[in-house]
Structure formats: structure tokens, C-alpha cells
Structure 1
Amino acid sequence: MSSLNIVVVGGGAAGFFGAITAAETFPEATVTILEKTRTVLNKVRISGGGRCNVTHACFDNRQLVKHYPRGEKSLRLLLNQFDAATTVSWFEKRNVSLKTEMDGRMFPATNTSETIVDCLLNTARRLGIDIRTSCGVSSLIRDEQGRWQLHLLTDELIIADRILIATGGYPKVDGYSWWPEQAEPLVSPVPSLFTFNVPDSPLLPLAGVSVTDAKVSIVGTKQEQNGPLLITHWGFSGPAVLRLSAWAARDLANTDYRFLLRINWIPALNNNELRNKLQDFRQQNGRKLVVSQNPFGLPSRLWQAFASEAGISDIQRWADLPAKPLNRLAEQLTNSQFQVVGKSTFKDEFVTCGGISFGSLHPETLESKDQAGLFFAGEVLDVDGITGGFNFQSAWTTGYVAGLNIGR
């Protein structure tokens, strides 16, 4: 009897983790990874500014799943098999130690993603996994014997007993056209994790200026997030904006990324509280210039921009500041509004909201309910997290679960 032939489509984090787990769990099987591009693990290489944000130091799974705008319930079940603590242990057993940063993100102690890439590549090679690049699949068909025919873009035909699809997310539905005709239920894909384009923002000259805490919200909705905010050459970025883009991904797609963004630059205070603080500051610092003294620790260039927008001159002293410009300044600080007219992908860390519905899969194995022998893992599923290592954690988890069950 010939050995089981397992083919993994997609050479990213989930694909490699699925292939490695399958090869370790079913040593008699032949395992092959097919990657469409010329190199594997591309996202692993570039993520976290080239350091690879492997996971997040959140070891309570009930808390961990709260960082996923979609897929929370299904992922909670899967984390019982492979969670963040297991991820840390998995890499440590292979001589890769991880370090935790102040915000909970975990990186390799070496501070380079190549450590993670080398670990996965070396483990795969040691297990005899065949890694093939420039091997795109043009169609996937089940034959009369129940085996899978993979037709490659090179006209090559590969026959497999089991398939793991770990291609990552497709930005458009037609990206899934090579799948079997009786395709899985698909949640229409839209982008997640993106920055906001505000070409008319008066703050564009301040590109590079950031604040440690701001509240960003979408006018007319309940969507809001707090966190660090970065002014860019095209608008706004930073963790607060990226988190907002993830949680509101579908709402924003429906607006064609044209919406009104509200920013409270001092989120600890509402407008009345902030006005009172400005009044107190005026009484205590009357002789000082408004543009050179601010009570909130904001970057000086940003404070000066707000003062200018409020009609406050460079020679205006606090003691002589009339009520109207003070009120305008308070409004600027607590209720800045900007017209967003588009989005930009966050660096190269593209994430898709949508994909294969968990409802079409066996919840504890990630095998298709309708098509035996067809498994799914990673971002191709309808699960996505905010930034901070959460998307890689779902890749390790789903890859592991699929690989653990694919040879049964």
C-alpha cells in the first residue's frame, strides 16, 4: 500500500505549521508544500518591521479571543488544542526563545524574523517535507477514486489523498476560482488592517508626529478605539487606527472608505472638563505664550497647529486669550473631524476580513463537512485579529489543528 500523499497549498505560516505537524504526526506520509510565488514565508519575513511578531503574551484564552473581530467563537475552541503558551513552548523546544515587549507583543530574542523563518525551514527539511516554489494551482478537482487532482499553472498534474488549503486571504472573490466546483460557503472578503487617507487634512505637514493615546471613532456609528495615533503624509495610522479599521472593516467597505473620522486627542477628558482645565491653566500661566505652553503634554508642533486652527496668534498670551478661541481650541482637542476618502495597506501586512466560513468545517479538525480530505488553515478562514501577534497565533493554531488531523 502506497503512503498517504498530503499536499499543502500555500507556503506561509499556517501552511508550514500544518505541513510540519502533519509530517510529525504521520511520519509514513509524504508531505509537499506548494507555494505560488518564488519564496516561502514572505509575510513572516516582513512582519513586525522584519522582527516577526510571533504571538502575544496573553495566556488566558478567554481574553485572547477578544482581540479577533471575526472568528472569536471558533478560535476559542481551537485554542484548547494549541494556544499562545503552546506556541512559545513549541519554538523554545526548537531552540528559539521569545521575548515579551511592554505592550505584550512577543518577538524572537534575536530581534530578526530570519530566526523564525530558519526554524520553520530547517524543521520542514529535517522531516523530509518537499517545498516547491513557483507552483501555483490552476484547478483542484476530486476524481472518481476520491483523490484530489491538482492542476498547476505549469500544466503539471499532482495527485493527493489529502489537501490543506492555507493560501492566505484573497482580496477578491475571484481569487478562489481554482477551488472545487462545490465550493465551501464563502464570507465575501474585504480588507482589514489599513490606514486612513485624508488628503485635505491640515495636519499632513506634521507627518511623523505621534501621540501616545487618542480616541478615534467613525461619526454615525458606535465604532471607536483608543491607543497610539500617528500622523502620516497621507492621513492617519498607528495602533488606534489599525484596530478601528479591523473592527469596522465591513462597515467601512460599505462606505467605499469615505467617512467622517472623529479624533479626541485628550481622551481622558470630555469637552467641558478640558475647557475647565484650559481655564485653570490660563489663570496659572497668564504671562506665557499659548503656542509655547500646553497643559496636556502634546507634541509642540501639534499643539501649535491646533492653536493656529483656533485662530490664536504666535504672540497671544494665556492671560489675554478670549473665550471664543479658547472654546475653539477645546473643540479641536476633543472633537477634531476629518473626511477620509480612501485607505492604504498597512506596510505589507495585508489582512483579509472574510473567507471560508467555520460553519462549513468540522469545528475541531478544520476538515470540510462536505468534501472529505479537504482542510483549511490560516487567513483563508473567516478569522482575523488586530495587530499585536494575533494573526500569527491564529495561523499557528489552525495550521496545527489541521495538520494534526489531516492524516486520520
Structure 2
Amino acid sequence: MQDPDSFLRRLFDRAVEVADPMQSLAAHLPARPEGRLVVIGAGKASARMAEAVEAAYGPCEGLVITRYGYARPCERIEIVEAAHPVPDQAGVDATRRMLALLDTCGEGDTVLALISGGGSALLCAPAKGITLNEKQALTDALLASGAPIGAINGIRKQISAVKGGKLAAAAYPARMLALLISDVPGDNPSDIASGPTVGDTGTPARALETLNRWNVTPSPSITDYLTAGGNPLPPDDPRLSTVENVIYAAPSQSLAAAAEIAEAEGIEVQILGDALEGEARDVAADHAALARKAQGDKPVLLLSGGELTVTRRGNGIGGPNAEYCLALALALDRAPGIHALACDTDGVDGAAEVAGAVISPETLSKAPDAADALAINDAHGFFGRIGDQVVTGPTLTNVNDFRAILVLPGS
């Protein structure tokens, strides 16, 4: 086996590779439909997905919105970059143009929707009476609250003119095939990018309850809109009757690919789950206990996926994967033989252009301020100072968090 850090990085690279649309999407495309084909999409992987579509079909009409820095060369599909995780005017303008394009579609036409994580911010059309500034402020507050992604997306659907199935409804009566890469715990299509092609089972009242539970106060306009009943689109709306949603890549596949490498080297693999949620530092404490318990005469690999959260307590530069690693290092307290990596498969942990970090028994010896950094959510700052960040650049896919703990035989 390679040195532990290089081995863990190899597992992460493989997890990303199997979720690369250029490697996996073509097998899920039907024969190119006769008649007009329009390609739309939103998400961190959507431009790469569009590139894969044109590699299979040839030039296609369409418009896709991705994160700044994630564009890919396409022949005819237009790629627009916008902000993530907090939306911006570029996303609003591109979404407006996408809706106008869908308005030209009719019966007999086919719309191919390419949806991946990040689409919640990139696909932005605030509901009537709500401004972009109000939506930006609410998004920032929700991301700082520690609320799970499912709860955040439930609110996003209720105040949007495209989420919660409304994007698909805009294409009716054209047929729509939505290909999705899951980045959400549980792989529910309605949660991926806040479900722009899936009807909403939530309610404005539930959104208000969620805001109250996480101590987030929206603008008066948002409160008034939700109190008045909003405009949710139920799953049985006739305009969704021509839509097919297919998840073709998910976290479980990436974990299985990493496990295959480890097992080939004689390492016992325990998959803790592909849909873990919770506060990053709390999950790290639990995993530290599991790692200590797993240590024996043979190497063991603990794998997990999902999406952890961080409640903002300070103004440091943090993200759930880096915070998990920092909390894990503190909980393990230099335990010999235990190494770990935690990264976001899209290459961006939180708002930092860093995928995540690695730790070893020497991590706490490299700098004296680990506990202080954790207290102010400055995990990325800490790992940057000691040179243990994992930086990938745009990976062009997104199946959420990848965590691997390598437990070598104890001394």
C-alpha cells in the first residue's frame, strides 16, 4: 500500500472519477429523439453533463447554468456561469432566458434536463414580490444556521418560480427527461437542486415552521408571501405528467468504487452509510470512537458519504469536510495508526475553493491552535497553515461528501 495520505487521495480520486459525466452519462441516454431536442440544465456538474450529451448526440440546442469556473466547451449548448452558494444576478438573468426557451417548446418536442447539486443557487427565479437581495440574505442566513440541506431546500422551493417542479411545468406539453446526479442524503429527486423537475410535497406553512426552528428571520416580503399561501406545485399537477426523472449517479456508487480499491489490497471495509447528516464536529466525534474500536490486528477502512453541516460560531474560513477533519483530529488526540480524508466531490468545501483536508497522528503537532481554530470555524485556515488541504480545482461532478478513515494496526 502507498503511504496513508496518498492511498486516501487515490480513493477520493476514484470516487470522483466514477461520477464524472464523461465516464457515466452516455449509458443512460436514449437514442437521440426525432424532432426538436432542447437541452437545459443547472448545477456544478451540468456543463460537464452537457459536454457528455454533445459527445453522444452531436450539437444540440440549449442553455445550461453552472458555477463560475465550471464551464466546459460545447458546440451549440450555451454555458452560462453564475454564483454559488449564494445566487447572483447572472443566475437570475440566465434562468429568465431558460424559461423563455422552454416557452417555445411544444407537443412533440423533447427537453433533456441535466440537474446536479448546486442548481439550487444557480437556477434562480424569486417568486413574485421577492427580490434577489432578499433571497441572497435568506440563503446566507440558512447556510449559517446549521440546518440540514433538505430543510433549506424545502424553503427554497416555496419562494421560487422554478424550483419544486415549476421548471418542468414551464416546458409542458413537451416531453422532458431529467437526468440527475444526486448530492443529497437519501437520493430523493425532489431534493436535488431543490427539485426543479419534481412536484413539491411541502407547504408554505412548513417552510415558516422550518425558519422558526432554525432561528432564521426572513424579510417581511418573504414572510408575507409564505403566510399568504405561496404558489406550490403538487406532484400530481398535469403539467408534470410528461416528465421522467432518472438519478444516474449517486454517492453509493462512489463509495463502492473506493471500497473496491481497498478490498483489492486486503483492507477490511466498513461503509457507515452514504446519507449521513448532522453537525460536522459531532459526527467526527462519533467516527473517532468507531475508529478506535475498529483498531486491531488488520487494517480497516471506514467510508461514509452524505452532507454534514456547520453552525457558524465564528468568522473563520471553514466548511463541513475541513471542520469534520479538524474535529476528528482533536477527538483522536494523536492516536497512532489512524489517518483520514474528508472532501467534497465537487472540489468546493463550503464557500472555500478547497475540497477538504487530510489528517494523521501528527496533525495536532504541526500547529498549536487546533482547538481555537475549531471554536471559530477556521478549519480551512488551520489546514492551510499546516499544508494539509486537499485542492482539486473544479471536479465537474458532485456526489457530495466523501469521508475515509484508514485504521492501521495499533502499536
TM-score bracket for this pair, using the shorter chain length: under 0.3
TM-score normalized with structure 1 length: 0.24
Structure index of larger Rg? 1
Relative to the length of structure 2, the TM-score reads 0.24
